[in-house]
Amino acid sequence: MYSIGYDIGSSSIKAALVNTASGKSVDVVSEPKVEMGMIALENGWAEQHPDDWWQHVCTATKVLLKKHHIDPKEITGIGISYQMHGLVVVDQEGTPLRNSIIWCDSRAVQIGQNAFDQLGHRKCASQLLNSPANFTASKLKWVKENEPEVYEKIHKFMLPGDYLAYKFSGEICSTISGLSEGIFWDFEHNDIADWLLEHYGIDQRMAPRLVDTFSVQGQVSEAGAAASGLAPGTPILYRAGDQPNNALSLNVFEPGEVAATGGTSGVVYAVTENLSVKESSRVNNFAHVNYNVGQPRIGKLLCINGSGIQYRWLLNNLDVSSYDEMNRLAASVPIGSDGVLIHPFGNGAERMLDNKTLGTQVSRVNLNKHSKAHLCRAALEGIAFSFVYGMEIMVSDGIMPTAIRAGNDNLFRSDIFSNTIAILLDKEIEIYDTTGAIGAARACELHKGDFETFGSNIMDNDYLMKFEPSGDASEYKSAYQKWKHQLKLLINNS
């Protein structure tokens, strides 16, 4: 028997087929074959039509079933991971009233900031664990203000994963974890934040009903079966936003456990049981997938926009052929890059730097001494330093890291990158070869409550290696302090 997991990204839909007995991944496919586009009607806007996601989900499902000769009745469960913070609004018939306003759309920034100031920073931090910022609730307020004819027709608002579950089942529902990522959840009262909705003038009846993250959330309807190729009655057993799901995929559930991602952007996601927050303007706080009132688990999320995109920019603009070549060049240069510094913040405003836009800064280059090898090493070190700087913010917000786990992303494949972080944090970094779609498929079994077997499946199937903090750390610490001192100067002068 098999479970199927989906990872609904903004560039593609990934679908994974997993053997339920062993947890072993059978296959992962991606649709469409070319990157999905975004609709940007204004500068800073980003939209996608939710039915495009559904179309690609159906295509990917049929590809997997046909390729592996799977009878749809052999699929025992559906798990869904999705791009966070998006807004989908539907009418009484469940038809989308407009494109989805997705995670990277910035049109509601000022709406969220105004609410933060008007409602009070302390109240938002203690009850929402966040500023309303540019999250889903603020995007819905934007629709109310700017598209009243659309707003008047709204029956329900949803997150992207909720919409996919609805297309499968015909049922509209969400989770506490999902509503918290949209900043709709009051952690103090463990209920929908009616006071925020009232402030925004949003009717609470638009909120979807709640289901548990690990539960039978719905079943594939006849219409869902006809479109997707799955069997009617197949249960939807799990859904979560992409970052909580990435943490789940790395077996990160308990306080002190940290999931790190080194893709286009970098993410540090740490679990805590503490509901108090100090860094609500720099760190996001959401209900983790295993959150419950009696045993709260909060995922603290810190994003580094200028991460892997910095290294990719160098690949595209230096006379190099591959990341492997760049890593070899970097390894030929000593720790500290002979004084060259790169601050990799050229991908827009950095929330962890209080939303400052510094741009990428390359400094202390001696044209008679330094080469592209120094730039490669300085970039890897600079990105690693930004992870360490972010981890220091997390520690100031109450995180005491006990375990750091990462996927086999481009950056974490680099010995220089991973060793720099491990040595500076004095923590092992475990590397796993997995994806969000595989994690979502495996999570279908967690409604049974067997987290021990879930963790064993990850170790047995995905574990690759670990980086240990060995050797003399003094050169790393010296290089980091120079980088950090320069960062403070950049921030003060911005």
What is the tens place of the pLDDT at every residue in 291-301? Answer: 998 889 999 99
Shared domain for 74 and 132, answered yes or no, is yes
Shared domain for 306 and 212, answered yes or no, is no
Say what the pLDDT of residue 293 is.
Answer: 87
Report, as an integer, the average pLDDT of 248-257.
97
Pairing of strands 156-158, 88-90: antiparallel
Residues 6+ apart with CB under 8 A from 196: 115, 119, 128, 132, 137, 183, 184, 186
8 Å CB contact between 14 and 79: no
Say what the pLDDT of residue 4 is.
Answer: 98
Q: Is residue 365 one of the residues assigned to a domain?
A: yes
Locate the DSSP E strands across 9-112. 13-19, 25-31, 47-48, 75-82, 88-90, 100-101
CATH number of 38's domain: 3.30.420.40
Range of the domain at 422: 251-428+468-494
Q: Is residue 458 one of the residues assigned to a domain?
A: no
Shared domain for 239 and 276, answered yes or no, is no
Which three-class secondary structure state does DSSP give residue 463? strand
Say what the pLDDT of residue 280 is.
Answer: 78
Q: Is the pLDDT of residue 412 over 90?
A: yes
Domain boundary among 245, 279, 295: 245
Shared domain for 140 and 270, answered yes or no, is no
Shared domain for 221 and 299, answered yes or no, is no
Q: Is residue 454 one of the residues assigned to a domain?
A: no
Q: Is the pLDDT of residue 154 over 80?
A: yes
Say what the pLDDT of residue 265 is.
Answer: 87
8 Å CB contact between 100 and 47: yes
Please write the tens of the pLDDT for every residue from 28-58: 999 999 989 999 999 989 999 999 999 999 9
Q: Is the pLDDT of residue 409 over 80?
A: no
Report, as an integer, the average pLDDT of 96-102.
98
Q: Is residue 459 one of the residues assigned to a domain?
A: no
Q: Is residue 119 one of the residues assigned to a domain?
A: yes
Domain boundary among 226, 245, 264: 245
Domain boundary among 178, 213, 245: 245
Please write the tens of the pLDDT for every residue from 426-451: 999 999 999 999 999 999 999 999 99
Shared domain for 218 and 256, answered yes or no, is no
Report, as an integer, the average pLDDT of 60-67.
98
Shared domain for 296 and 167, answered yes or no, is no
Low-confidence winner among 161-170, 171-180, 272-281 (lowest mean pLDDT): 272-281
Domains identified in the chain, total number: 2
Q: Is residue 258 one of the residues assigned to a domain?
A: yes
Shared domain for 395 and 308, answered yes or no, is yes
pTM: 0.94
Shared domain for 176 and 306, answered yes or no, is no
Shared domain for 298 and 239, answered yes or no, is no
Cα gap 52→56, rounded to integer Å: 6
Shared domain for 393 and 484, answered yes or no, is yes
| Residue linked to tokens 């290089």 | 479
Q: Is residue 434 one of the residues assigned to a domain?
A: no
Cα gap 285→280, rounded to integer Å: 8
Shared domain for 92 and 62, answered yes or no, is yes
Which H/E stretch holds residue 404? strand 403-407
Q: Is residue 445 one of the residues assigned to a domain?
A: no
Average pLDDT of the chain, as a whole number: 96
